[in-house]
Structure 1
Amino acid sequence: MSLKDIAFDEKGLVPVIAQDAFTGEIRMLAYANEEAIEKTVKTGYAHYFSRSRNTIWKKGETSGELQEVLEIRLDCDNDALIYMIKQHKDIACHTGNRNCFFKAFNKEKPSLMPFEILPFLERLIKDRISNPVENSYTAKLIKEGLDRVVQKVGEEAIESVIALKNQDKNEIVYELSDLIYHILVAIEYLGISLEDLEKELIRRHKS
């Protein structure tokens, strides 16, 4: 697909969704014209068209909250795009929020969706390392050091094996959830991210 395939509206614009390629979350919605898309392709960074200012703008040019575009996708009718992005500084909204969709209809705040839980836990663990909270299990575990963190991974792995052998679904789900959480603590402690693991899994899939 190329620029000539895009079905721009009567104003020469097309809606663009910026989706985080690593967390899956929708970061923002904006519009682009042909020139903005060309600049995006040429530079590798998200460019949009401002309908209020009637000009092209590069996301994060002044704030540093750049959006590195890994791929551009079109919908079935070619009249909407997705920029698959890596969000710099982890902030996409001018309000300072991670994304522009931090409100929920008829609710005080959005619920955590299944695809959001692992990135959420990663951020939570990272915060507990940087800003320890009293009575926090995670903060206490981290304070006890790497040996204790690794020990917990081992303990949870053994309990997971037992659960799998018992073939009890509820027990398996419970124990594997414990194991996944403690693995997240361990890798964050060592400066390894979910993104690192995802990239390795993609590399293996390609090979």
Structure 2
Amino acid sequence: MTIDFNKNNDGLVPAIIQDATTKNVLMLGYMNAEALEKTKATKLVTFFSRTKNRLWTKGEESGNVLHLVDIKVDCDNDTLLVSVNPNGPTCHKGTDTCWGEANEASYGFISKLEGVIEDRRLNYGPKESYVSSLFAKGINKVAQKVGEEAVEVVIEAKDNDDNLFLNESADLLFHYLMLLQAKGFTIKDVVDILKGREK
């Protein structure tokens, strides 16, 4: 790993700190060559503090250290991406990130879709929304729809029409997300179970 510490004439490079699991950006700090070497040696993220003019290990006073997982350098060799497992909140103000956001896992479009389902369930009437109408019929109806969609996926899996198979798979996933909400859960709860099974 070649890093250009002299590009800015101050011997420092930006270090973007990212949670290794959630992939959320937690903070931005600066490292010089000595801070990088200490980070690698101790497996605790260490920066060069421009205000204190010294090396500074994150959490050295609060205990909210950042455990090193991986370090990557960008294409210009002048910025680091540091993957970590945080021990507590990262920001000195007590928040998970320096942008005041919660460090929660997001599953991209799936999380957005869960939000849409929740909104339709809570804020729309049965005549305004298919989702609302299905929830209004109760959990048995929601569960039945998941079963029906699962059977349709199996049927289409045996045929050669990939478009139908993928559309039925989308229907199954959509209704499964509804069933999870009907039971008071989200996809995160399922992912947590799968992570617990990881060997």
Q: Which TM-score band applies after superposition, normalised by the shorter structure?
A: 0.5 to 0.7
Secondary structure of 1:193 counterpart? helix
- Structure 1 residue corresponding to 2:176, chosen from 164, 176, 179: 179
Render the CA deviation track for 1:142-164: whole Å, top value 9, x for unaligned: xxxxxxxxx99976752441453
Render the CA deviation track for 1:80-117: whole Å, top value 9, x for unaligned: 0011111122x2112222212348xxxxxxxx975396
Alignment partners' CA distance in 1, 2:107 and 2:15: 24
- Shift, 1:180, TM fit: 5.0
Pair 1:59–1:157, CA change in 2 (3 A): farther
Secondary structure of 1:15 counterpart? strand
- Shift, 1:176, TM fit: 1.0
How many residues are paired up?
158
1:98 alignment counterpart: 96
Secondary structure of 1:39 counterpart? helix
Letter aligned with residue 30 of structure 2: Y
1:11 aligns with 2:13: no
Render the CA deviation track for 1:10-41: whole Å, top value 9, x for unaligned: 11111000011111111111101111111110
Q: Select the structure that is richer in helix.
A: 1
Alignment partners' CA distance in 1, 2:146 and 2:76: 47
Structure with the greater alpha carbon radius of gyration = 2
1:68 aligns with 2:67: yes
TM-score with structure 2 length normalisation?
0.61
Pair 1:158–1:117, CA change in 2 (3 A): closer
> Where does structure 1 differ by over 4 angstroms across 4 or more consecutive aligned residues?
151-157, 168-172, 186-190
1:24 alignment counterpart: 23
Secondary structure of 2:26 counterpart? strand
Any unmatched runs of 5+ in structure 2?
115-121, 123-139, 157-163
Contact residue 23 and residue 116 of structure 1 kept, 8 A: no
% identical equivalent positions: 33
